[in-house]
Structure 1
Amino acid sequence: MASRSPHAGEGSRRSGMSSTGRTIVPSDRTRRAMAKRLAARTSTMTTATLAEMTARHSWFRDLSADDRSWISIVARSGIDGFVRWFADDEAEPYSPTDVFDVAPRSMTRKISLHQTVDLVRTTIDVVEEQIQALPRGDRQVLAQAIVHYSREVAFAAAEVYARAAEQRGTWDERLESLVVDAIVRADTDADQLVSRASTLGWRPGSRLCVLVGPFHRPHTLSALRHAGERLGLSVLAAVQSDKVVAVLSGDAVTDDAAALAAAGTLADQLSEGPVVVGPVVSDLVDAPASARAALSGASAALAWPEGPRVLAAVDLLPERALSGDRDAIHWLVEQVYRPLAEATGDLLDTTVSFLDHGCSVEGTGRAMFIHPNTVRYRLKRVQDVSGYSPSAPREAYVLHLAVTLGRLAGVATGSGTSSGSGSSSAGSSHHQG
């Protein structure tokens, strides 16, 4: 950059500032003399400011010694800055924003904007009081000057916090995306996952679920977070390919039913398409299991377009299993087929016969040579044991698929035979019927 005289373009240089000491006292000689007398009292002003801060503000007293030390440096910077601003004898005008540059950026996290305003107000009050100790001719001029300067500092504080909020927002979004990505990928470094989430304000030990929905609209993530806040939910959200993956936690996420209800309220913030909710888990380190189920369900949901828009991942077990989801296959075998296979009372045979005879109680009774009321009793027990009713079409589909998968997996039946060697007894009784 080419050098130029410090006085070149001085009018345009100073036009960017709403006021400086020069605009209040045009005479360089008079202004510098007053600035010199003012500078002689800066140490006294700083000491008085810290004493006043301690007396006025409990939050200041509660800070650590290091944090109070940084605030004293900021206060001293502000007072020294007033002297420089009033003297206005530098090539470039003093910027009140420099007041806050002496402290680390992390202070904007520890000291709120409201507390910073307390600091500025208290400092200005002390300076105004100390001005009264200067010669009478200085007092009115400096009192006017401090009013102008305090306005500049207030704007500077707002600018510093706005810039910090923007930077923090960008960083938080990046960190939030890393947390969600680690959950989706089932990152094994649990300590790092919890540490990153804690930085975002996540509470350890919170029950949570993972929601997956379509992403086609801008501002979806911010709308989802704001809607979650209104419901008292903590929301970590990020975009994965063409889907939104959100981790939900809060008092409204107590169990799977409550989580599904909460997701139904948030669904309006997402684009058109199925929204799938994974099972509720007890902590963030277990979130990958919920994410796997929700992502699998979101991919398989197109096979059940007749279903509701907001679904639990468990509602899509058949579609997930047919698409190759091992967790869904294992769940159907272990939680549906195995209890029926190991139960007494021919529940598995009755289930298969009932499904094969068009869900007819009378047809099943004739095929198994039992009374229809016995069939009804067994069907009620099937629902109690498996959680699914053979009489409901969708649940009958789940049972039918579970039976098929259980037989393919070779799970032993209650009679002690396996479907590998007697495809079996469960199958043979069905065919005999």
Structure 2
Amino acid sequence: MVSADNVNLDVLEHIFTYLAGNDLPSVALVSRSFFAGVIPRLYRTLLFRLSHAKRYPALMSPFSAIAAHPEFAIHVRHVDIRTVPVVKTQCNPRFLLECARAIALCSNITSFRCSISNALPPFLAALQQTDRLQRLRISAALTTEQATRVVALSTIRHLTLDFASWNLMDLLPRWTAVLQNNLTTLTLYMAHELNETVLESALASLPGLLGLHVIGCPKVDHASLLALVTHTPNLESLSMTTGDPARPLPTPPNLLPHLHTLALDTRLPAAPFPAPAPAPAAILAILAHLASSLPPPRLAALALKLPAAPPALIAQLIAAHGPTLRRVALLDCALGTDSLAALSRACVRLERLEVRVPVRDLTPFAHALAPARTLRTLVDATPRTGPALAQTGVRHLFARIPSLMTVVTGGRVWTRRTGLSIALERHPPHGAGVHWFMPRE
């Protein structure tokens, strides 16, 4: 008779890859065989977020569990520290000690994230002992000494620096020179001290870079970045913040034949430019600039964060990239039904659309999306303060858009089953873990 005790362990491990959340520790309590099969999955990611910090130390942290059971450390691949518990406005020293001890034991870490800059220094010594670390995302408001220790990490392939201080930006060219044979993605978010000279020195060492994302860095706008991409001709994804639309763009345009993912963040410039006209003007200039390249890039994914989406912008977007677009995100703006209908008809390969869903005008919205024959995922980009999309509204969307299979609104994921039968799953929104401008897998 077949039982859990004589099922191959590899089969159990494969089955448990489909489980997540509280199901994993529950399964571990079933039997010794289940326990052995679930441990690699259970300890693959050490995640610590706000809900955990609120219950610390009453709730044991995953780092404390690793410190108590070092034999489980071999299974850890990802460490994700999004917040830390505090004691009198200071990071809890006990928690930091637990994390440092656990990280030192985890020799197979491939990705590390720490969203609290004050919590990072105790982990630097342990991170320098890892030789498999490929993804690094840190809140990088560091001192010179701390920055020097960070740039000693030499195996990084995907680097994200949030709120980086001048101390680290000053060392960025030195770091990229070390990483030139490894680094494929560079993301710099809200680095106020980053300037064009430093970034050019850094990019000069990265001719093989595939992803470049520079967002919220006031001294590096779209004109600067489009001039600097001459150092990175193999780019596949690019994100930038728009500035003064009157700034001249490089002539002739730098060739980006492999570019398929573009994200633009519009930050309205100071007076005398009126709002909100400069934002669409800058985007129109960028689209025209890319179209003048020979050969012009054909975008498969586009994300725009802007205050308004005038019909002229949508029309130019469709003319340049309509036949190839598969994923479109229009954030912080409402899209008119005429523009939405034009987008639905022209983007014959559109699979994912992220846009504000007007709950009170759902019927014309659904009618405008009906021509989208390939649309499978609709993401509601309405701010959380707006009215929620209810089950009746989701059913209406499924009825009017035959190809639609998934509707995501906040932390709820509605999935079409058979006919108009739908299922609801609750997940935390991706925004907490992924920058909006980053390419979706």
TM-score band by shorter chain is: under 0.3
Q: Which is higher, the Rg of structure 1 or of structure 2?
A: 1
Relative contact order: is structure 1 or structure 2 higher (C-alpha 8 Å, sep ≥ 6)? 1
Normalised to the residue count of structure 1, the TM-score between the two structures is 0.22
Bigger strand share = 2
- Higher normalized helix content (fraction of residues): 1
